[in-house]
Amino acid sequence: MVRIDEIRSNENEYVGFHVEGHAGLAKSGKDIICAAVSALAFNCINSIDKFTNAETNVKSNEEDGILDFVIMDREITKDVTLLLKSFFYGIQGIQKEYGEKYVKYTNKYGGDIF
């Protein structure tokens, strides 16, 4: 299962995400769920890098399927928030389509973000 945890600040603002694991729907390199999650995650990271001035920190370990992404700024812009919400919305869509057996989105604040 791929687990996606949102990361929020003490002020309850979206500031990043943690992705871990492999979906297990198919063999490595052939798994459409892993590919979809990766595409959404890297598109979010690249979009924040390209379209905002946010300072970010990215750590990854492909072998373990771990990706950590955090905005380092004290103030989170509306653009950054929108891009992170878009990522979480896409992840929720994948989870609804394929089920929590393969994708688990955790929102420690409860429920859908929309």
Which CATH number characterizes residue 60's domain?
A: 3.30.70.1490
Dist CA 2 CA 14 (whole Å): 20
Contact by Cβ (8 Å): 22, 31: yes
Cα–chain-centroid distance for residue 14? 11
pTM of the model: 0.89
Task: Establish if 89 belongs to a structural domain.
Answer: yes
Domain with 63, as residue range(s), is: 2-106
Question: Model confidence over 61-108: pLDDT tens digits?
Answer: 988 889 999 999 989 999 999 999 999 999 999 999 999 999 999 876
**DSSP 8-state class, residue 109:** T
